[in-house]
Amino acid sequence: MLSLVLFAVLVAVQRIRWPSTVTQLDTLLLTGVVAVVMAMLLPGLSGVSVRVLNRLIFGSNYDEKEVVRHYSQSVSNILDVDRLAALAFDVINSVFDLERGALVLVQFTGAGHSTFLPVRGSGNVPTQVLEVERFGTLMNRFRQGTPLTQYDIDVLPAYRRLPEDERQWLDQMQMELYVPIQSQDEVIGLLALGPKRSGEPFRRNDLNLLSTLADQTVPALKNAQMVGELRRLNLDISQLNTELEFMNQTKTDFISITSHELRTPLSQVTGYSHMLAEEMDPESPLAPFADSLLAGATRLAEIVDVMLDVTRLDVGTLTLNLTPVNLGQIIRRAADEWASALEKRGHTLITDGLEALPNLEGDAERLQQAFSQLINNALKYTPDGGQIEITGQAHAESSGRFLEVVVTDNGIGIDSDDQRRIFDKFYRTGDLMKHSTGKTKFKGAGPGLGLSLVKGIVDAHSGRVWVESIGHDEESCPGSSFHVLLPLHPPEYNPEMAETMVRQGSPVF
């Protein structure tokens, strides 16, 4: 059209009857000036001519650049798929006035299949999910990047052989046009457009515009899908945490009920075992059996007591009798409990700095119970002839003073993965089938509650406990160190700050 206008203007200039004073050279110069002026006016005439042609020939009256700009601004920074679909079709409907429209999410589900999930953009749109072959007829067509019309589906032979569920889905959608949304040659969605309310078909320039809008949808759709996946993941994690809390409560209830139910009959077994052992003649052939029965009943009673204590810690009913106590004396009494076992296993127990520790406010019985468990743990996981060292020192920080006790062994050590879990109830390291029986034998058996009880008692004193080990190795025996921090006055103490100071090195008073 522009060429015709320019040609007509130049012909008109040439056919004007100029005065005789105007030479042919003047006419040529004038023609050149007109050509230059027309060239300057062409950009403005171009947009006008395109709109005129679209209106007269194709029946459209939109400015493609303006539509793309408006669409891009509308869908950018949208992080919700439903809102993205609604805003996208607000713009599309302002141009085409559709009966219905949907944003169809295309997701690869594995095993060579993908799903089509419609998200309503405007009008009445079914939301039934369709599973299609990833390299079937539909996906191969969309992967080419060209729009698919309902006319193609009805007429072309390739689409007459579509599976029945795919044809039913397409019929239910009642769409006129499907425009693929592609990212890196992979189809991630479709713009599904119903018929225009005017009844007019989609023209070639309409298809070009819609393909451009589909390209503009890619970043917004990928961002919205990523946010949707994160939300679903957070929901799954939240549900999992709820289930874990329920399971943990169920486990606590089981411990409480079981230990209470065992306590009464176990008291009878223990009492009668004591009586039987005392009345039994030491020379009797039944004496060893009576002693074994008493030892077993006593061991079982200890396990039940620990289970009850752990349950009290879980439900917050473990009460502490706080009095000024000497931690050095408490640790020595705890070590005396295992004197015969240490001697039998050939272990050397070394203490350092315990006598100089000042008194602190604590429950002597519970603290002795905690350090007894730590010594027993070192005893069990150190090969015969090993060494256990218990050191103590006092520290000062801005919020108060605290004591540090470290129980160190040269045993088999602890893997880094296990170090985060050994204070959990019932957690035991290594292959349980390879553990020996007996609470003082090497890698001896146990219910896996000892370190959990230690943590509970230390936490109840507003303290801190953790383990340090370079790893597990039964040949080189790298050993382990259990650190216990206890405040002299709990209300004035920050256990996390204390742990940081100890790990980094802190002044001793």
CB 402, CB 487: distance < 8 Å: yes
Q: How far apart are CA 301 and CA 295, in angstroms?
A: 10
Query: Residues 56, 60, 65, CA angle at the centre, nearest 5°?
Result: 120
CB 224, CB 135: distance < 8 Å: no
Overall fold of domain 319-504: Heat Shock Protein 90 (3.30.565)
Q: How far apart are CA 71 and CA 88, in angstroms?
A: 7
CB 187, CB 181: distance < 8 Å: yes
> Is pLDDT of 139 > 50?
yes
Task: Name residue, tokens 């890698």.
Answer: 443
Of 492, 494, 422, 419, residue with least CA distance to 463: 494
Q: How far apart are CA 150 and CA 153, in angstroms?
A: 5
Q: How far apart are CA 128 and CA 202, in angstroms?
A: 26
28: enclosing H helix or E strand: helix 24-53
Q: Which of 88-97, 121-130, 365-374, 448-457 has the lowest mean pLDDT?
A: 448-457
Categorize the per-residue pLDDT at 281 as very low, low, confident or very high, splitting at 50, 70 and 90. Answer: confident
3 contacts: CB under 8 Å, gap ≥ 6? none
Report the 10 Å Cβ neighbour count for 40. 9
Q: Whole-number mean pLDDT of the chain?
A: 82
* Structure-block tokens of residue 61: 């009256």
Q: How far apart are CA 295 and CA 284, in angstroms?
A: 18
441: enclosing H helix or E strand: none
Render 478-506 in DSSP notation, one character per residue.
--EEEEEEEESSGGG--HHHHHHHHHH--
The sheet carrying 480-487 orders its strands as: 348-352, 387-397, 400-409, 480-487, 464-468
Give mean pLDDT, residues 456-470. 92
Measured torsion, CA atoms of residues 433, 436, 438, 444, in degrees rounded to the nearest 10:
-90
Q: What is the DSSP letter of 55?
A: I
pLDDT at 53: 47
Categorize the per-residue pLDDT at 261 as very low, low, confident or very high, splitting at 50, 70 and 90. Answer: confident
pLDDT, tens digit, 9 for 90 and up, residues 410-439: 999 999 888 888 888 777 776 555 444 567
> Is pLDDT of 210 > 70?
yes
> Is pLDDT of 332 > 90?
yes
Amino acid at 501: M
Which segments within 167-206 are labelled E, that is strand? 177-183, 186-193
Beta pairing, strands 360-362 & 348-352: unpaired
Instruction: Please name every residue paired with 105 in a beta bridge, in sequence order, or none if there are none.
Output: 117, 189
Q: How far apart are CA 413 and CA 6, in angstroms?
A: 92
131: enclosing H helix or E strand: strand 130-133
Give mean pLDDT, residues 273-298. 80
Q: How far apart are CA 303 and CA 309, in angstroms?
A: 10
- For helices 2-15 and 24-53, angle between their N-to-C axes, nearest 10 degrees: 150
Task: Name residue, tokens 């451009």.
Answer: 212
Domain boundaries 64-232, CATH class = alpha beta
pLDDT at 436: 47
Does 346 or 276 have the greater pLDDT score?
A: 346
pLDDT at 175: 95
Q: How far apart are CA 494 and CA 401, in angstroms?
A: 10
> Domain extents for the chain?
2-58, 64-232, 244-312, 319-504
pLDDT at 58: 43
Q: How far apart are CA 161 and CA 268, in angstroms?
A: 81
CB 113, CB 128: distance < 8 Å: no
Task: Please report, for the chain, how many H helices and E strands are present, in that order.
Answer: 16, 13
pLDDT, tens digit, 9 for 90 and up, residues 48-98: 454 444 444 444 568 889 999 999 999 888 888 899 999 999 999 999 999
Q: How far apart are CA 461 and CA 489, in angstroms?
A: 9
Phi, psi of 336 (to 5 degrees): -65, -30
Does 260 or 1 have the greater pLDDT score?
A: 260
Query: Residues 302, 303, 308, CA angle at the centre, nearest 5°?
Result: 95
Under DSSP, is residue 102 helix (H, G, I), strand (E, B) or coil? strand
> Is pLDDT of 223 > 60?
yes
Q: Mapped to the 3 state alphabet, what secondary structure does 385-402 carry?
A: CCEEEEEEEEEEECCEEE
pLDDT at 392: 94
Equal fold, 64-232 vs 319-504: no
CB 171, CB 134: distance < 8 Å: no
Of 360, 364, 390, 383, residue with least CA distance to 481: 390
Under DSSP, is residue 281 helix (H, G, I), strand (E, B) or coil? coil
CB 120, CB 127: distance < 8 Å: yes
Q: Which of 42-46, 76-80, 165-169, 174-178 has the lowest mean pLDDT?
A: 42-46
Q: How far apart are CA 11 and CA 6, in angstroms?
A: 9
Does 224 or 490 have the greater pLDDT score?
A: 224
Amino acid at 170: L
Q: How far apart are CA 37 and CA 12, in angstroms?
A: 15
